[in-house]
Structure 1
Amino acid sequence: MSDHFATNLKLACSHYRSISEVCRQLSINRAQFNKYLSGQSRPTAYNLKRIGDFFGVEDYELNLPPEQFSRLIGARASTPAEQSGDPISELFRPLHDHAGNLSRYCGYYLEYSNCMSVPGTILVSLV
């Protein structure tokens, strides 16, 4: 396991209210989880699978370089200067400036649509 695991785990945990909440939902001892966060210890294969499932990523993705992992889980750049190279961000900048801070709406949503391949059924997607 690479040194990126602890950094990526911290980033994934930042999407939750607290580390304690993550530990409760994972049923992992807080002291042990703190060792994972600090890089002092590495989770067993079983716990690594549980952590990956909880955050919605594969085991190996937790070891990606932090820049790549943050793009994978949808973390936003913290300053406009970091976003300036992205043409899509530039396209939406006037809308973003008008709307203000929309970070409270970032998260996971269920999307419902009619399934075209199986008429009469509803397709549910996580977005």
Structure 2
Amino acid sequence: MTSYVLDGGRIGTLDDFWTLMGEAVNGPGGYFGRNPDSFADCLRGGFGTPDDGGFVIEWRDHELSRRALGHPETARHLEGVLARCHSTNRARVAEELARARSGRGRTLFDTLTEIIEAQAPGALRLR
């Protein structure tokens, strides 16, 4: 079984996560998604992971990542989303942003781990 290791101590922002995940799977400069939708697509196969789904993602020091990808980073990310989203999505994104700013709601860490579990059930190992 193939194992991909994420060093949670090196994840301070969402961009760090995309970079480290890409490198874990596809080596230096590697790509494995740069947004939640493309990440989910990559996890389904064809972008570096084995086609048979025989892999695990070992997220070491995940508690450091959980803090780094918490509500403040989620709010920062949502501010960018709000600035460029379609007008029909602005109210929903603004509500999510207000929750994140007040320390409530799902965080980026929650979203990423949920995507992994949905697309590669049982592959995530939080250490």
**Larger radius of gyration between Structure 1 and Structure 2:** 1
TM-score, normalised via structure 1 length: 0.28
TM-score, normalised via structure 2 length: 0.28
